[in-house]
Chains A and B, each alone.
Chain A
């Protein structure tokens, strides 16, 4: 199994490069993944041979580009196991997807005194859009607490679900703790109370099989660049019945049916939410990335990354003074830690000079870091191209760093 994934490394040219004279060990995949050749080649050939504006040209090239873009939409539909391509909206990424829902759902369904529920482990992108909605509509934001292991407190969650709550916005996987939240169960509880749920899939899409039908999510957002695709393209899945009831987010080309100065009517789903020329090169490259992931098999990726995470956790725990931050029973490919009392910035800076790329700090989840009562963490986040040997390099580097203070 190990050698199967090792062979895939050659698809990623950067992985064989040196940084400060050391072999690069890229453990910042939670921030963004590296791109395989085939994705980059897709972008290149798209611009060289497939570039024409879509949905409007009568000419051959425009037709081809439109077909490629719509085929990408179908590809995403399959990936999410959604019912229909009309439920797949291309956005710039998770953040824009969440902002879209916060605005449009908010306009249609929220009023003064209503509530939105998020969890304490949300990334800023799944906090701030809701705060903006709350400010706009004079609503309040309620927060689901967690235990010290980094697991959602389901009883407390249930207690928050009252008739004033219009939507629950919850991350599937925590970008800091790695916790895999029981979204299916949480959605069932919310639905029983008549409440809609948005799932932030940014950290789960690259690692866990997503099935919007099985989890019964009302909305789900993810980003292309975290799943081996290009930056600047992302997805919002929404149930058609809901998307039909909420107003457009932005106005412009593509999203219209008829425009008159007296009145404009809007296009059908999903185009109603895609104002302006969409990133039709990005969508086809994302489709290529999803092909790549599916050819490997998301279950196979999940199993391998799990064994990598378990090995890394076990090896790191052997280091004196090591504190693992986030010890939930169900975790995905994220490993946050503190090396004794050494500041995460110091650890990250020294790891960098040893060729190891990690993320340090609050990881754009300041409320969570505050809840944990720390200044930040060092985070190693894995992709399927990481190896057990790289974990050994990390452990050795951490031991060396420890002697320096």
Chain B
């Protein structure tokens, strides 16, 4: 599946709910299903400190693909993190740099990625792009 096909799939999964609480229930269930990040990465080095919540993110390059692991201390953020990994993990650095993450807005979670939210998600996306850029530059 292409990145945008995955994004469209997520949009479809959320579209069936018109009630906010149902959307959040799905997000919580998704968040609870996230595999915890390897303990060795749950350190200050991989921590993105938001005012409201914390996110850990780690990336490695395997066969030219960026493999992402991430976690958060809040379940809702974990849910969004899981969706971001579903879209971005396993992509090439260039794909990550080129991707427009439109699904976030379409499923009504844009607020969580607003810089004023300070929940670590904006910095997390930036951090993933930084990883991608670094991998791309090293490969060149």
Contact = CB atoms under 8 A, between A and B. Distances in A.
B52 A353 contact: no
Interface of A: 20, 342-346, 348-350, 353-354, 360-362, 375-376, 400, 404-405
Given A343-B73, A360-B52, A349 B28 contact: no
B137 interface: no
A353 B21 contact: yes
Contact of A349 (B24, B25, B32, B73): B24
B30 to A, nearest CB: 12
A346 B76 CA distance: 6
B67 interface: no
A405 B28 contact: yes
B127 interface: no
Contacts of A360: 52
A400 B21 CA distance: 10
Given A360-B52, A361-B51, A361-B52, A343 B24 contact: no
A350 B24 contact: yes
A342 B24 CA distance: 14
10 contacts: A345-B74, A346-B75, A349-B24, A349-B76, A350-B76, A353-B24, A354-B21, A361-B51, A376-B52, A400-B21
Given A343-B53, A361-B51, 8 more contacts: A20-B20, A343-B74, A343-B75, A345-B76, A353-B20, A354-B21, A360-B52, A404-B28
B7 interface: no
B75 A405 contact: yes
B67 to A, nearest CB: 27
A405 B24 CA distance: 10
Contacts of B20: 20, 353
B76 to A, nearest CB: 5
The 6 lowest CB-CB distance pairs between A and B, nearest first, are A343-B74, A353-B20, A345-B74, A345-B52, A345-B53, A346-B76
A203 to B, nearest CB: 20
Interface residues of B, number: 15
Interface in B57-107: 73-77
B21 A350 contact: yes
A362 B52 CA distance: 8
Contacts of B74: 343, 345-346
Contacts of B76: 345-346, 349-350
Contacts of B25: 404
Given A361-B51, A405-B75, A345 B24 contact: no
Interface in B3-38: 20-21, 24-25, 28, 32
A375 B58 CA distance: 23
Contacts of A342: 75
A28 to B, nearest CB: 14
Contacts of A375: 73
B28 A345 contact: no
Contacts of A345: 52-53, 74, 76-77, 119
Contacts of A350: 21, 24, 76
Interface hub of A20, A345, A376, A400 (most chain B Cβ within 10 A): A345
Contacts of A348: 52
A400 B32 CA distance: 18
A213 B76 CA distance: 50
A383 to B, nearest CB: 24
A404 B51 contact: no
A157 to B, nearest CB: 31
A248 to B, nearest CB: 35
A375 to B, nearest CB: 7
A362 B53 CA distance: 10
Interface string B101-140: 0000000000000000001000000000000000000000
Contacts of B53: 343, 345
Contacts of B32: 405
A360 B77 CA distance: 15
Nearest to B54: A375
Nearest to B120: A345
Contacts of A349: 24, 76
Interface hub of B20, B25, B77 (most chain A Cβ within 10 A): B20
B82 to A, nearest CB: 14
Nearest to B32: A405
Given A345-B119, A361-B51, A404 B77 contact: no
Nearest to B52: A345
Nearest to B73: A343
A363 to B, nearest CB: 11
Given A343-B73, A343-B75, A375-B73, A404 B24 contact: yes
